[in-house]
Structure 1
Amino acid sequence: MKYYIAAVASLKMLPLQHKIALFSTTVLMVAAIAWQPSKHTIHIPSFKKPAPIAVPVNITPSEVSEPDSEPMGASLDQNDPEFQAPKDEIERQLVQAHAETESKHRVASGETLGVIFSQYGLPISEMYRLIDANKSVQQLRVGQTLEWDVDSDGKLTSLSIIRSKKVTDTYTLGKKGYSYKEVVQKGVIKPVVLTGQVSGSFYNSARDAGLTPTQIGNVVKALQWKMNLGRDAQKGDSFGVVLDREFIDGKAVGKGKINAFYYKSQRRGHSIFIARGADDQFYDQGGRSLNRGFKRVPTLKSYRISSSFNPNRLHPITKRRSPHNGTDFAVPVGTTILAAGDGVVVKSRYHPLAGNYIVIKHGREYMTRYLHLSKRQVKVGDKVKMGQRIAKSGNTGRSTGPHLHFELIKNGRPVNAMKVPLPQAEPLRGSIRTQFMRNVKAYKKQLTAQMSS
């Protein structure tokens, strides 16, 4: 004890700098001792590691999907009646005749054949088969028009590329693949007027008058916002059509293209006219569009796309085709969802995969679907306007995170809403309108002369 007291006394007598040095030395000694390996440490001799053993791992679809989209492989069956709009009588007749499977596209700047096929969900494999038939199918110019038909399974059966007023390239599917033919117009184009009177259904009466299913489908769609020819047509109503027909050696060939259509009911008349040389769309007699506008993005502002439209998407694990027939927007729960266009709500309910969802029918040609909603604000039968609030986004059904799955259906088939040309509601202007009005005057004269005789 006395040595301890003496040591403490001696320590107190040391200068401050000596005390600091002594304290530092003590700390370093303690640290050195702590860093020494324990005497109980066991040293294992080194050896070569064995090759890893492959263990099968079950990866669920959601593990290979975006964190805010549908799980891979959980796509909806497009043919499920659950998600389809009900069809009226004339639509059933047109579908049965395959008139609604014809599509048309006007080539815009920068578009290639591959881009167009992707826009309409046409199989890329069919595009390569067309190229094998004739490589010129890839040579597209701005303003040229593509027309094609698909069968009930979505398989391309024919393709026409209207190169000019006189030249059309045609591709027709046969047993050995596609056959190519260049059709050069050699005949004389003359206007032809067909007239008829409704005695039963409009479809059957129009067929009796000489119109093809495709021509009937065209006028039904053009008038969709003015009247429903399947529901509103009455016995005794009359109609007239002005067609451009080609004549070779005095005989009419081909289907002919509709320039004007007039329908007279018991109460009033409706007339539509094509804008040749402009966009080949129908307008009323004043040059006003018969279309209704569409929104590409059904939200108040833009959001990140977490999963794009891809009908040919392959599952990264199974390597099987797992199409994504819509566009997924990574929106927070509760985001306001808008109607993409004017229409009627045909479905508003819950589904195990889709969650809360809404289907809107826009005329006869388009339909939109909104999936995984947290709240539905419209009910079946409601008429909505473009931009109207219809729901709140959510994370219901089979979903890997909060998002909106949005689909645009055209003629019963999903298309890429972010790229496909949408109907415009702009009127004709300038020199195009001037020429259109001259044509309207001539078409009216032809219809009046034929229908009054």
Structure 2
Amino acid sequence: MKLYKAVATSIRGLPRQHKIALVSTSVLMMAAIMWQPSKQSVTFSTSTPKRVDVELPAKLDLLSEQDSEPLGVSLDQNDPEFQAPKDEIEQQLVEAKAEVEHKHRVASGETLGIIFSQYGLPISDMYRLIDANKSVQHLRVGQTLEWEVDDDGKLTELKIIRSKKETDTFTLSKKGYVYKEIILKGDIKPVMLTGRVDGSFYNSARAAGLTPTQIQTLVKALQWKFNLGREAHKGDRFAVGLDREFIDGKAVSKGEVNAFYYKSGNGKNNFFIVRGDDDQFYDDDAHSLNRSFRRIPTAKRYRISSPFNPNRLHPVTGRRSPHNGTDFAVPIGTSVLAAGDGVVVKSRYHPLAGNYIVVKHGREYMTRYLHLSKREVKVGDKVKMGQRIAKSGNTGRSTGPHLHYELLKNGRPVNAMKVPLPQADPLYGKERSNFMKQVSFYKKKFKDAMAS
């Protein structure tokens, strides 16, 4: 009896993958023994067999994972069931195929590998980039990475903006990534575009000379302040400040949005925003346009039972089985808190996700909360960061009580525990002084442009 208890205790202490391998091997061996024909005679004993009770661990889930997405099963990230509906201007941008802005500013201590893991980009693509040109690994603090991905999450283009005039590009071709260094040879000059709303803001901005991608930049910058699709009215005026490259007096680039001024006809929605040195937008008093996010959607920190891993492999089959969120080992009934200000766009039941909630935060972020025991908000409810929206549970396809939490940026899962989160801090000191000089510069330019 003691021997069996010792064996059971040993099994309980094994890592999960070892348990899976042990049981799989045992099943195969038993099947092989039962299948093999025996050439020896079998002697049956007439004595009463002795009963042996073997004590097994109470929760020995050997053939399943302690998370929300069992091996071989993944939630479809593109399923409309889990997506937020798009409003008019978002739909117009989709139809115009505006480039989705995937961007990261390099911080101290970050490497290419760390950045790839934060955003769930394929590590295999990173090695192919290195094969194309090893300079991709040489990142400096403050440099900006921009990239595009296809529907499967594969990297199709990467840009490393080294300076205002120097950019490294890696573009996917049939033979792999092609490296190209782009050095601007012309002069960078500010350009002012002006317009008046006549119909939709999108069409009016296009008529003024803005590209769909530039319009998308404005829509995201103002996501917490003003809805350019719904709140813009006929007769409202606007001006946009861009930096463009000129060669022999001719513009050779579309430019990046640096400032935006909007003046409504009724005078109630006048605002002015400028891009700071940190690549974020602020109002004319150096206050951030962002809303803060919390890293963890619970009141206190719990053990992570299954981390974010979009490249997770099945330990037996070797097939890719992504885990696009973070699982917290929380007791049933634990309060689940909204990660940021937003609007509830889904609150329902799903066979795999169980009771779940989806919250849309502005136009760039979305969070998902799965396997809940109780939902405390409904579709259309506005929530604040830190507000309780549900209680954790064990509903749907779940092997134990836990909270599965996902953060999506621009529609793609990212590592909520590591990716940089929006901050709403204003600028101070030297940064504020430099910023206010830009404010004065663009205010004068806009005044002249609007008067002409």
TM-score (norm 2): 0.84
Code of the residue aligned with 1:275 in structure 2: it is G
8 Å CA contact retained: 2:66, 2:306:
no
Code of the residue aligned with 1:105 in structure 2: it is H
Equivalences, count: 396
1:269 pairs with 2:245: no
CA distance in 2, matches of 1:186, 1:221: 31
Instruction: Report Cα offsets for 1:213-259 as digits up to 9, x if no partner.
Output: 22111110111111111111222222110111111121112221211
SS at match of 2:124: helix
CA distance in 2, matches of 1:385, 1:266: 31
Where structure 1 has 5 or more consecutive residues not aligned to the other structure, the ranges are: 1-51
- Per the alignment, residue 437 of structure 1 pairs with 436
Instruction: Report Cα offsets for 1:138-187 as digits up to 9, x if no partner.
Output: 11111111011223343322111111233211112223322111112221
- Per the alignment, residue 14 of structure 1 pairs with none
Instruction: Report Cα offsets for 1:93-112 as digits up to 9, x if no partner.
Output: 22233435221101112211
Code of the residue aligned with 1:274 in structure 2: it is R
CA distance in 1, matches of 2:115, 2:403: 25
1:245 pairs with 2:244: yes
Code of the residue aligned with 1:421 in structure 2: it is P
SS at match of 1:137: helix
CA distance in 2, matches of 1:433, 1:81: 43
SS at match of 2:31: coil
Code of the residue aligned with 2:75 in structure 1: it is L
Deviating runs (4+, > 4 A) in structure 1? none
- Per the alignment, residue 108 of structure 2 pairs with 109
1:415 pairs with 2:414: yes
CA distance in 2, matches of 1:92, 1:110: 38
8 Å CA contact retained: 1:369, 1:406:
yes
8 Å CA contact retained: 1:74, 1:398:
no
SS at match of 1:205: helix
Code of the residue aligned with 2:116 in structure 1: it is F
Instruction: Report Cα offsets for 1:358-392 as digits up to 9, x if no partner.
Output: 00000000000000000111111111100001110
**Farther off after superposition, 300-309 or 113-122:** 113-122
Q: Percent identity?
A: 77
CA distance in 2, matches of 1:390, 1:290: 25
SS at match of 1:328: strand
Instruction: Report Cα offsets for 1:115-159 as digits up to 9, x if no partner.
Output: 111111112222122112111101111111101122334332211
8 Å CA contact retained: 1:69, 1:306:
no
SS at match of 1:63: coil
SS at match of 1:127: helix
> How many angstroms does 1:54 deviate by?
6.3
Instruction: Report Cα offsets for 1:320-360 as digits up to 9, x if no partner.
Output: 11110000000000001100000001111111111111000
The Cα RMSD (Å) is 1.7
Where structure 2 has 5 or more consecutive residues not aligned to the other structure, the ranges are: 1-27, 34-60
- Per the alignment, residue 118 of structure 1 pairs with 117
1:55 pairs with 2:31: yes
SS at match of 2:199: coil
CA distance in 1, matches of 2:152, 2:66: 32
SS at match of 1:432: helix
> How many angstroms does 1:396 deviate by?
0.3
Q: Alpha carbons of 1:65 and 1:448: their partners in 2 closer, same or farther (altered >3 Å)?
A: farther
**For the pair shown, which has the larger CA radius of gyration, 1 or 2?**
1
